[in-house]
Structure 1
Amino acid sequence: MDDNFLKQTYRNRCYIYGANGKLALKIPVIHTQKNRQKYRDVKIFNEEKWQCNHWKSLLSAYKTSPFFEYYEDDFRPLFEQKEDFILDFNLKCFDFICDILPLELKLSKTEIYKDEVENVVDFRNLVNAKREPVQKFNTYTQVFESKHGFIPNLSILDLIFNEGPNALNYLESQTINSTI
């Protein structure tokens, strides 16, 4: 929560599988590199109709997926209710995903930034969207797989809309390399 906000990270973007392949969904933020901002202080630029555009993209990409209709009404409020700060929106999404899966995680929020952390697995390096991921996950069936093949490292939405209640079993079956 207390590190500096960096551009081109997964803090304000994700990727889904559209009809033409990998599609970026970016949340516009009010940010400047001149005056470094803490992640918690970065505001969403809500003048842009990003939520409506993201929802249309999800409809286009996943309306034919096996579980989109099952979760559609649950997810819709995330794309209708506005949040002022990107951190608040991300925490709201995280809580929502934990409820959907269902995941019971013990979370704590940081009070200060630390370069090195002890007694916890540090996944902060995974936030960089421009770095090619080295973590390999098993494949699952995707809507447009017959056109473009399996696309890894997409939003959790791709897994949920394609695997539904089996999404948690899929995640639990993966081996995570925390030394990436």
Structure 2
Amino acid sequence: MQSPFSLLLSTAYAPPVSYFTKLYHVGEGLVGIEAEENYIKQTYRNRCHILGPNGLQALTIPVEQSPSLKTPIREVRLSEHGSWRHLHLQALCTAYGASPFYEYYIDDLLPIYERRYRYLWDFNEALFTQLLRLLHLEVSWQETETFTPLGSHPEDWRYGLRPKHPAPDPSFVPRPYHQVYRDRFGFVPDLSILDLLFDMGPEALLILRDSYVCPTIP
């Protein structure tokens, strides 16, 4: 049976620019967000990277340990230990408080951090939906209802976009843009979409547009 999706992605916390570049270039295709997988640690599902005054910084959402070795992604519960919501907002303020568009967007993001979502899936979905709105990026997407076997879909990036050892992706060629600490660290590519949004505002769409190279057909 042919997949209805033009692109497959995992749920993710404030995903990287490469993730949104794929969303921008999917056009009128339908995006499937994988809802039938098991949770995988140390991925963008509960982690994002920002650039602060001390360099690259990972923001990780703590989740509750499950007694089962395999936890369905929609059943992963957020941990309330460590005041992570406050710490993440504080880190974003430190990193981007001086950026051109931080004050413009932060009030639209605060309610999502302040609401006590029980599940990682719901928090990610709320933030993802808001980010699409702030970017003015129109994308048709829905949760998957069955698991597509690995290797059976030409645009399957559920496991290729990851913090460590990402899969080769010749179509993603990150276009440099202004970053608050670029003079200190140089341009750091493929950070969280929050970095691009706070630094570039409405011009973020141009970066997404220009960070893609159409694969050549042999």
- Residue in 2 that maps onto 1:17: 51
| 2:145 aligned residue | 111
* CA deviation after TM superposition for structure 1 residue 119, in Å: 6.7
Mind listing any 5+ residue stretches in structure 2 that lack a counterpart? Answer: 1-34
1:47 deviates by: 3.0
Is the 8 Å Cα contact of residues 160 and 166 (structure 2) preserved in structure 1? no
Partner AA of 1:166 in structure 2: E
Aligned to 1:29, the other structure's residue is in SS state coil
Shift of 1:127: 3.8
In the other structure, the counterpart of 1:175 is 212
Cα 1:133–1:60 shift into 2, 3 Å: farther
Instruction: Give the corresponding residue for 1:43.
Output: 77
Alpha-carbon shift at residue 63 of structure 1 (Å) = 0.5
Of 189, 195, 202 in structure 2, the residue corresponding to residue 165 of structure 1 is 202
Deviates more, 1:126-135 or 1:34-43: 126-135
Percent identical among aligned pairs is: 37
Secondary structure, aligned partner of 1:25: strand
Q: Structure 1 residue aligned with 2:122, among 88, 98, 104?
A: 88
1:63 aligned residue = 97
Whether the aligned pair in 1 keeps the contact of 2:37 and 2:73 (CA below 8 Å) is yes
User: 1:120 deviation in Å?
Assistant: 6.5
Matched, 1:139 2:176: yes
Per the TM alignment, residue 118 of structure 1 is displaced from its structure 2 partner at its CA by 6.0
TM-score (norm 2): 0.75
Cα distance in structure 1, aligned partners of 2:59 and 2:81: 16
- Equivalent residue, structure 1, for 2:106: 72
Q: Report the number of matched residues.
A: 178
**Residues 176 and 78 from structure 1, CA distance in 2 versus in 1: closer, same or farther, beyond 3 angstroms?**
farther
